[in-house]
């Protein structure tokens, strides 16, 4: 029983990270209609940039972190302007393939620059195990849930309260109407990619600090698909909830697998079975809006 609760908590913690990355994914999809297969590589770029700033240039953590944020902003905007803007209005296959191409390119480029071995982050926060309500929780994991919550709250405030958030919501709702109201759709697109890159970068840094930095981190970019389909491809709240569900589900699958089935890697594949079931039964997820087409 204790193991069960422990896995549940682990699931929620990992799930909150999935939720954050899924949120970025949905943000880009909602405002630019691009399904970003390179989301996982954004995490990698952020993590490797921060790591090399800390170890190679020996910057203090806060400075390295800020420089990484600035770098990711520029990275997102440049990517949007150079690669994705020419493809606005193209068919789904082109848009999918261009992000797949980006994923391959960055995966290989990062492998080339940083090597294929995992590297640990320098110790920034002390790693110890604390007890909360009788459960053993590593502080590193707690450290990872705090940024997730901060990011989620920031998203909420940004979209509800700020002028730019309003502009982005308007663009997501209807591009032409937004444009006729004087919103620069071009800037909104650039901003969506910039936010997505920055937040993914932060998630990458957090994951890198909890585990180590290696190209395996990009697997988060694949886990995002089950999370967003469960939540609904165009719902930001859905992405968070979907992420949590997938995180918990993975750990539950590991529990069931370890206790009864002994398949070995059920936890890695279970989210995809859920994905297929959801697509067959409820293709627009829990919170997604249904597409209605007219002739």
Partner 1 sequence: MTVSNPRPCGDFRTDYAGDTRLFSDRAHTGGFFCLLALALVVPFVFDGYVVSLMILIGIYGIAALGLNILVGFTGQISLGQAAFFGFGAFSSAWLNTNTGIPVMITILLAGIMTTAVGMIFGIPAARIKGLYLAIATLAAQFILEDFYARAEWFTGGSAGSLAETPELFGFVFDSDQRYYYLVLFWVCVSFLLASNLMRSRDGRAFIAVRDHYLSAEVMGINLTKYRILSFGISSFFAGIGGALMGHYLGYVSAESFTIFFSVLFLAMIIIGGLGSIAGTLLGTAFIVLLPQFMEFLVGLLSGPVPFLLDVQPYIKEMAIGSAIIIFLIFEPEGLIHRWRLIRAYWRLYPFSY
Instruction: Tell me which residues touch partner 1 (CB under 8 A).
Output: 35, 83, 86-87, 90-94, 96-98, 100-109, 111-112, 222, 225-226, 229, 233, 263-265, 268-269, 272-273, 275-276, 279-280, 283, 293, 295
- Residue 34's contacts (CB-CB under 8 Å, 6 or more residues apart) are 28, 84, 95, 99
| Smallest separation, CB 159 to partner 1 (Å) | 23
Nearer to partner 1, 98 or 207 (CB): 98
The answer to whether 167 and 183 have CB atoms below 8 angstroms apart is yes
| Smallest separation, CB 126 to partner 1 (Å) | 36
| Smallest separation, CB 69 to partner 1 (Å) | 26
CA distances from 258 to 7, 8, 9, 244, 251 (A): 12, 15, 17, 21, 10
Nearer to partner 1, 1 or 112 (CB): 112
Burial (0-12, 13-18, 19+ Cβ within 10 Å), 240: buried
Angle between helices 219-231 and 2-32 (to 10 degrees): 80
Number of CB atoms found within 10 A of residue 264's CB: 9
| Smallest separation, CB 103 to partner 1 (Å) | 8
Nearer to partner 1, 87 or 124 (CB): 87
Nearer to partner 1, 1 or 280 (CB): 280
| Smallest separation, CB 115 to partner 1 (Å) | 10
- Residue 1's contacts (CB-CB under 8 Å, 6 or more residues apart) are none
| Smallest separation, CB 38 to partner 1 (Å) | 10
- Residue 145's contacts (CB-CB under 8 Å, 6 or more residues apart) are 12, 13, 16
Nearer to partner 1, 59 or 100 (CB): 100
Nearer to partner 1, 192 or 202 (CB): 192
Number of CB atoms found within 10 A of residue 57's CB: 10
- CA 159, 161, 162, 167 dihedral sign is positive
């Amino acid at each position: 029983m204790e193991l069960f609760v422990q896995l549940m908590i682990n699931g929620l913690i990992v799930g909150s990270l999935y939720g954050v990355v899924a949120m970025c994914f949905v943000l880009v999809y909602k405002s630019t209609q691009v399904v970003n297969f390179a989301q996982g590589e954004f995490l990698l770029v952020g993590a490797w940039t921060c790591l090399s700033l800390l170890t190679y240039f020996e910057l203090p953590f806060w400075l390295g972190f800020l420089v990484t944020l600035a770098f990711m902003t520029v990275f997102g905007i440049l990517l949007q302007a150079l690669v994705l803007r020419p493809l606005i209005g193209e068919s789904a296959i082109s848009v999918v393939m261009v992000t797949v191409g980006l994923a391959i390119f960055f995966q290989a480029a990062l492998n080339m620059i940083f090597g294929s071995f995992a590297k640990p982050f320098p110790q920034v926060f002390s790693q110890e195990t604390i007890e909360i309500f009788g459960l053993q929780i590593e502080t590193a994991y707690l450290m990872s849930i705090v940024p997730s919550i901060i990011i989620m709250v920031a998203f909420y405030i940004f979209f509800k309260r700020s002028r730019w958030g309003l502009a982005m919501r308007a663009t997501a709702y209807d591009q032409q109407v937004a444009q006729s109201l004087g919103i620069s759709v071009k800037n909104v697109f650039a901003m969506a990619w910039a936010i997505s890159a920055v937040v993914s970068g932060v998630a990458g840094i957090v994951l890198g600090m909890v585990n180590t930095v290696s190209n395996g981190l990009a697997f988060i970019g694949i886990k995002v698909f089950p999370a967003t389909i469960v939540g609904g491809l165009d719902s930001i709240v859905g992405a968070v909830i979907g992420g949590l569900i997938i995180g918990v589900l993975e750990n539950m699958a590991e529990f069931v697998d370890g206790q009864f089935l002994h398949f070995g890697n059920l936890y890695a594949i279970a989210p995809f079975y859920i994905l297929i079931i959801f697509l067959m039964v409820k293709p627009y997820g829990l919170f997604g809006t249904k597409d209605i087409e007219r002739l």
